[in-house]
Amino acid sequence: MRVYIEDTDAGGIVYYVNYLKYMERARTELVRSLGYDKPAMPREGLLLVVHSAQIQYRRSARLDDTLRATAAIGKLGRAGITFEQKIWRDGEIICQGVVKVACVAENNRKPCALPASIYSALKAACKE
């Protein structure tokens, strides 16, 4: 992805929260690559929500940089997924993080198990 002016602060440096947006896109594309588009979960009355994020910023990205965001499943539980994520620029990791996502019921926001089909697809892609 390219860094646009809207991603940066007045000094042309990527605003820190935008790295989380890049990571969100990588997680979405990983799940999409397994055959599940964004609307798949709401149709089942479930949501995937971020429980926590631990981010380490190593280098600043700047206006017009080309970045690559990656996501891998580090740990899979019945009601949650831990993603290991990295943002790269020219072969160097400039930001990395661990993002925990929980599966919750749409109606009451309480944790619940991932559907069996989704769990199986995620398990096949898991690093464990």
Q: CA of 30: how far to CAs of 18, 59, 70, 100, in Å? A: 19, 24, 8, 15
Sign of dihedral through CA atoms 56, 24, 89, 76? Answer: positive
Report CA 115 to chain centroid distance, whole Å.
19
Residue carrying structure tokens 């020219």 = 90
Of 7, 9, 37, 65, which one is the catalytic site residue?
9
Rounded Cα distance between 128 and 123, Å, is 9
Q: CA of 83: how far to CAs of 2, 13, 14, 71, in Å? A: 23, 25, 22, 6
9 tagged catalytic: yes
Q: Among all residues, which ones are annotated catalytic?
A: 9
